[in-house]
Amino acid sequence: MVKIAVVGAGNGGQALAGYLAMKGFDVSLFNRSKRRISPIIDSHSIRIEGQVVGEYHISFATTNMEEAIKGRKLIMVVVPAFAHKEIAKRMAPYLEDGQIIVLNPGRTGGALEFNNVLKEENVKKDVILAEAQTFIFASRMSNPGVAKVFRIKNAVPVSALPATRNAELEEVLCTAIPEFEIVKNVIYTSFNNIGVVFHPATLILNAARVETTAGKFEFYFEGISPSVAKILEKIDEERCKVMKLFNADPMTAKDWLNYAYDVRGNSLYEAIRNNVGYRGIYAPPTLDNRYILEDLPMSLVPISSFGEEYGVKTPVIDSIINLANIMMGKNFWKEGRTVKDLGLEGMSIEDIIRLVEEGES
């Protein structure tokens, strides 16, 4: 069995590390700060609740990146997308030939951004970089060393950058986690970014309720009413229009719920209501949360940027970004990933497709 490093020990990272340990893999766990992993450093164990139940032992937990990834064939990066640049810089000096890095997920443009940092850091090692379309679990961390898995998704699209490395990626990643499904290229993972549909607008439209109840309501079942779902459908529609620029067939949010969770509905609202995997997932206790701080700059902003660059208007997406700017006292237009920041300014659609499929000439 390949040795695996999980980089990031939040909700997803702890759940994934425990899940992989359950499957018998030699797992290391890295976190930037010691606070979240102190109990795991001592016990080497993670307890999982929910769809998977048990206490499972990992090899070790550490705040030392070199120690965490040394000799590890598969490196699963499970941090908010706004931390990808920092993680890439920390990882760069210690990468080894033959390692596979997977961003879980990349959000929009994650692999492109991560790759740009590795180039800036002059990494010459032969590594494979890939991004997943979403995270494999709906999960929450109840305490350090205890994670609840509400639902394991049926399938998660993933692709390497460039796509010419997909066969090598599949041989290792899909053997470890069969739920991963190789797709054509990172256009499919970056723009089929379903979190961008569900998370930021729902949180912003429930801002008063979040701030007056500290998030004491079920995010999907109570936060997404029929009228809120109509806004989400418009965001989804704009996302799909931008993706179609790249001669790619987008998966609608309603179709994705069927793909990932086996749920159907005549509308997006109905499909969400039919997903028992969302039951018990509460809203964030504050607006200062990754649903805005990650999904705005790393998902909505790049989708809008690609639309602006190539002639597709995104008025509903833009309105959510503008509202968030006011509410959070930030300028996500400047903080977020853009066509320029990703090194794609001036490139044609055909150039970008060639880049993600074949790599740089």
Q: Which amino acids are annotated catalytic?
A: 199, 295
CA distance 174 to 223: 35
SS3 call for 169 = helix
Instruction: For residue 153, count other CB atoms closer than 10 A to its CB.
Output: 19
- Give the C-alpha separation, 306 to 301, whole Å: 9
| β-pairing verdict for 74-77 and 100-103 | parallel
Q: Of 281, 306, 275, which Cα lies nearest the Cα of 202?
A: 281
> Residues 232, 220: contact at Cβ < 8 Å?
no
Q: How far apart are CA 214 and CA 51, in angstroms?
A: 26
Coil, strand or helix at 357? helix
Q: If you write DSSP's letter for every residue of 174-186 in order, what string do you get?
A: IHH-TTEEE-S-H
Please tell me the distance from the alpha carbon of residue 242 to that of residue 248, in angstroms, as a whole number.
10
Query: How many helices (H) and strands (E) are present in the chain, helices listed first?
Result: 21, 12
Return the structure tokens found at 51: 């769809």
Q: How many CA atoms lie within 13 A of 270 on its CB side?
A: 5
Distance of alpha carbon 278 from alpha carbon 138, whole angstroms: 8
End-to-end Cα spacing for the chain: 35
Of the candidates 324, 299, 300, 327, the residue with the CA atom closest to the CA atom of residue 314: 300
Measuring CA to CA, which residue among 108, 111, 84, 295 is closest to residue 191? 108
Which residue is it, tokens 């939040």? Answer: 10
